[in-house]
Structure 1
């Protein structure tokens, strides 16, 4: 899918890696050689979950798109980058709050090629976990799944690997793979069939 990122001074619009969203409007509150701290309003690019996606979801209802407020901070020292963020639903769609932390190491074996890898984790509020992994009485009656009340806590741990190659002054190509494991109530939910997932992607970027 095509994405666009526009940056002007401390402001940004569209896709932003620091805000970790394809649709964002925000600003950097502080920047220096090591730190980037910012705030953004983001919106879900795709529908998070539709009960028509899989037979197991029938009767659970859709998880609607929503708007979020995000506060993020990125610290870079030498070849290591740490990123933390807090994202909360501001449109009243019961999406709750999630906090993420990722640590990435980067290595440039040859000029133009950057390799990266590192761990991460996600904490989720009870509202978030209940929306995605809980089953209330009405949903239980419609779906046939047992009732399940999901609380807050560690939601996911992951490990990511990426590569970025500059093929020309304005062109980059890259690929990424992420291995993720559900934890806590997310892994115990009757909705959950598999507690691990591998996701991957390839991309091409033009800078102007």
Structure 2
């Protein structure tokens, strides 16, 4: 119980700027060594200041992960949820995730557009693994944006190869679709924002906002410690790419994360 309370406090401390991953990535129940599995660590990221920014920032966040054999999970990447499947090849369930805030003060190019607050998103996920090396992933999230009525649907695939018992590499591809409410909050410019920022009014439609490819290297240092380093590149598409404050349509993210498993 004390460990769980500590994890909840970590979430509260970093939720203002943190964001959970598009896809849920869980260890199948059969491979969990304990009934309750915990890990703690930290991550450093080199990321765009906002979606479509040509400026980057360095951010550091605490990492935490708790996964129970009964299907429950609580994680900085996966969010808070439950996997109903007991099949190692199939994962499906419900979760609560976070969409990070976009602060106007983060970049001069956002001046006049206002803030978009951190959003708590209820949603669902479905993953299918052909074998331990190849899997398909999907997720649905609702509740982001200025009025908290943004909807996102993500589809993706991942391939993993073990180089030896301590090292493995992964490659992934994914696409994100969003409704018009989400698009307006993160890429649109209404009349008030136009007057304050100088950008022309812009009303984006629903559609695919971006396609992303990524690669990572995972090093199991010993029984407890592990290190993961990777990078991804996105391609903004559709109306999202036409936004007047999108200055880089192919943003790059680089990260490195270390964790200790109890």
Instruction: Give TM-score, length-normalised by structure 2.
Output: 0.73
Structure 1 segment 182-197 matched on structure 2, within 5 A: 182-197=236-251
- Structure number with higher strand proportion: 1
State the secondary structure of the residue aligned to 2:84: strand
RMSD: 1.6
Give the Cα separation in 2 of the matches to 1:160 and 1:134. Answer: 27
State the secondary structure of the residue aligned to 2:62: coil
Return closer, same or farther for 1:148/1:92 CA change in 2, 3 Å cut-off.
Answer: closer
Question: Unmatched 5+ residue regions in structure 1?
Answer: none
Question: Unmatched 5+ residue regions in structure 2?
Answer: 1-60
Give the Cα separation in 2 of the matches to 1:115 and 1:91. Answer: 34
Matching residue of 2:141: 87
Give the Cα separation in 2 of the matches to 1:14 and 1:92. Answer: 25
State the secondary structure of the residue aligned to 2:194: helix
Instruction: Give TM-score, length-normalised by structure 1.
Output: 0.91
Give the Cα separation in 2 of the matches to 1:33 and 1:13. Answer: 19
Within the candidate set 106, 111, 122, 1:58 is matched to 111
Matching residue of 1:40: 95
Give the Cα separation in 1 of the matches to 2:145 and 2:241. Answer: 27
Give the structure, 1 or 2, with the largest relative contact order (CA under 8 Å, sep 6 or more). Answer: 2
How far apart are residue 7 of structure 1 and its match? 1.9
1:206 aligns with 2:260: yes
How far apart are residue 118 of structure 1 and its match? 2.4
1:5 aligns with 2:102: no
Structure 1 segment 1-208 matched on structure 2, within 5 A: 1-8=61-68, 9-16=70-77, 19=78, 24-44=79-99, 46=100, 48-78=101-131, 79-89=133-143, 93-94=147-148, 96-208=150-262
Q: Deviations over 1:85-120 (max 9, x none)?
A: 001007973350111112111111222211011211
How far apart are residue 43 of structure 1 and its match? 3.1
**Number of equivalences:** 200
Q: Extract structure 1 runs of 4+ deviating beyond 6 A.
A: none
Give the Cα separation in 2 of the matches to 1:148 and 1:176. Answer: 34
How far apart are residue 42 of structure 1 and its match? 2.3
How far apart are residue 14 of structure 1 and its match? 3.1
Please say if residues 129 and 135 of structure 2, whose CA atoms lie closer than 8 Å, have aligned partners that are also in contact: yes
Give the Cα separation in 2 of the matches to 1:81 and 1:35. Answer: 9
How far apart are residue 125 of structure 1 and its match? 0.8
